Amino acid sequence: MTTIRLQTNQNRLIATLRHAFTPASMLGELLQNARRAKARHIHITAEGDTLTVSDDGEGIADLQALICIAESGWDEELKARENPFGIGVLSTLYFARSLRVHSLDKAFRAATAAIIGGDEVEVITAPARIGTEIRLCGVEPPYQGPTLTEWVEQQLVRLCEAFPVRVTFNGTEFDRPLSRPGLPWRDTAVGQVLIDLNGAPSQYRCYLQGLPIGSVPSSPDHQIVVLRDDMIARPPDRRHLLNEDEDHKRIRAAVEEAFRQALTEAKDRLSGAEFVMQYASTCLSSSNADLLNDIPFVPRSWFRDWAHEPPGFRTHWGRYWDRHQAEGVVAREALQEVGVWAIDAEDDEDVPTAEVYLAARQVFLLEEHRLDGGHWLIEIVNFADPAQIGIHHGAVLHADDCLPLHGDAIGVTLVGTLAASLGNESREYAVAAIRRHGMLYVAPHAHDVTRLISDYVFDDRYDEEREDEDAQTIATFIAVGCSDSPARAIEELLPTSWRFSKQPKLAGATVCLGFDGEGKLASVQ
């Protein structure tokens, strides 16, 4: 009978591991080793292509542990707490020409190629020192541009954010903003969380055993999570958590719980109006909308600002990005007195009809739709159905069933007076213009009528020239319709350039225009 057992091609394994590390992870491992050695201060220097890391920790009694794969040499307590992999210094061998280590009263120096090749390395007696010094020669930045000094400095900004040990680089101590005393950390099931209510709970940055781990959030305002030491990073480079999918579900839940706790504390600390002004948007965007339910104030920004946003079609960015945000809050009593409305329309094309009516009434048009179902505002909302909007007008002064416009193909009718009402209500509200399906009604004093025609976005781009042309066409249409004589109507139809541009061939001329029964030009004499 033959038997087989697991074997290892040591040289091949060591060579292959090169692809698992980066120079940045190497620098992090050196910091990590010093921290685990209970260092109180880590000194790093970079000069030319030489990088030196020294600490005042406990030192290394057996230097063999430094170059022993999967054997960390740490005590059992630390192994149980942090699950070290025992490959920290190994990561340095791929990015340097030679390695020198001096710890306590022992030292060795060797070419990294010799260590990787399994050659014997002589350990010598050296002058006693506190802690450990590791010197790497022949180190190059991972990409062209920065010097080694510049690159190390860039990396330390990131690595030292939450690092618990003082770090000095070339004589200057690095700022460690997340290790400052007095920060309001919150204890959770996954570790400590630092909440920023200006950021979303879904945006968080994790740190494990003092070093950043995982992806960087896209928002500068985000939550900070210092994970429990016993959570496990994915070997060998430790850039991600081992059970990332499951761990991040637990982290997300813990952050959301801490975030809600911080919001609740803010609600208890502030007046209702102050809390709404500062945190209403945060509550709506973080699944905490129910915290607003019992506060008798709401932000004015939840409602249409008629002064800055008159009725009509709006571009996507006008609605969500460049939208004017009304400041302040409005009380429940004021909303009940004036009236809160929402538009119940099956087709977006009908929405401007109801908007015109509601703007004429100067009521509050609710445009925030993320409210919790238990919010009191929902109980007082009235709904306006565009189909129930009645249009009342006086004498028709001018009409065109197909005015040449760049927006929607609709007819335009000029009327002497114009008003709107809802359903069976007796009161009518004067309006300057209103749209009903394929017809636009305008009064003589109408302006900004193009908002009722189109958003003027064609091929995902806003076309200002087309809107300007339509505005001029409608202004001319109204001017012609209001003209009290044929001569005045013709004058309004003439291009404005005729008034200001010289036309030598027309100097002193008198022209007679003849029109047929439909008002179309028939002759020029």
Q: pLDDT of 93-107, one tens digit each?
A: 888 999 999 999 999
In a domain, 371, yes or no: yes
The pLDDT value recorded for residue 426 is 87
pLDDT of residue 76: 59
| CATH for 84 | 3.30.565.10
**Residue 310 placed within a domain:** yes
How would you label 314-349 residue by residue, b for 16+ Cβ within 10 Å and e otherwise?
beeeeeeeebeebeebbeeeebeeeebbbbebeeee
Residue type, 374: G
On whether both 124 and 165 belong to a single domain, the answer is yes
| Mean pLDDT of all residues in 423-433 | 93
Which range has the worst mean pLDDT, 132-146, 386-400, 470-484?
470-484
In the chain the first and final C-alpha atoms are separated, in Å, by 119
* Three-class DSSP category at 384: strand
In this structure, is residue 391 part of a structural domain? yes
Which residue among 154, 176, 198 closes a domain?
Answer: 176
Mean per-residue pLDDT over the chain, rounded: 89
Arithmetic mean of pLDDT, 52-73: 81
Task: Name the nearest CA neighbour of 455 among 442, 466, 439, 440.
Answer: 466
Looking at residue 68, what DSSP letter applies? -
CA distance 162 to 140: 26
Instruction: Report pLDDT digits (tens) over 255-266.
Output: 999 999 999 999
Range 455-479 average pLDDT: 89
**Statement to judge: residues 309 and 369 lie in one domain:** yes
Identify whether residues 26 and 172 lie together within a single domain: yes
* Statement to judge: residues 342 and 455 lie in one domain: yes
Output 192 or 494, whichever has higher pLDDT.
192
Q: What is the 3-state secondary structure (H, E, C) of 253-317?
A: HHHHHHHHHHHHHHHHHCCHHHHHHHHHHHHHHCCCHHHHCCCCEEEHHHECCCCCCCCCCCCHH
On whether residue 278 sits in a domain, the answer given is no
Q: How many residues does the chain have?
A: 525
**For the residues 152-178, what does the mean pLDDT come to?**
96
In the predicted structure, residue 376 carries a pLDDT above the cut 60: yes
Same domain as 254, residue 112: no
Neighbours of 123 (CB within 10 A): 14
338 assigned to some structural domain: yes
Confidence of residue 322 (pLDDT cuts 50, 70, 90): very low
* Residue whose C-alpha is closest to residue 149's, from 56, 65, 79, 44: 44
The most confident of the ranges 33-37, 338-342, 505-509 is 338-342
Give per-residue pLDDT as tens, 400-427: 988 888 877 789 999 999 999 999 888 9
In this structure, are 159 and 240 located in the same domain?
A: no
**How far, CA to CA in Å, does 341 sit from each of 309, 451, 455, 507?**
16, 21, 23, 60
Are 201 and 109 within one domain? no
Do 155 and 229 fall into the same domain?
A: no
Tell me the residue range of the domain where 212 lies: 186-269
Same domain, 457 and 326: yes
Q: Assign residue 437 a region: left if phi > 0, alpha if psi is -120 to 50, beta otherwise?
A: left
Label residue 321 by pLDDT band (50, 70, 90).
very low
**Residue 514 belongs to a domain:** no
Whether 486 is in a domain gets the answer no
Q: Which residue, 149, 176, 203, sits at the end of a domain?
A: 176
Helix or strand or coil: residue 208?
Answer: strand
Q: Indicate if 209 and 109 belong to the same structural domain.
A: no
Domain final residue, candidates 454, 469, 484: 469
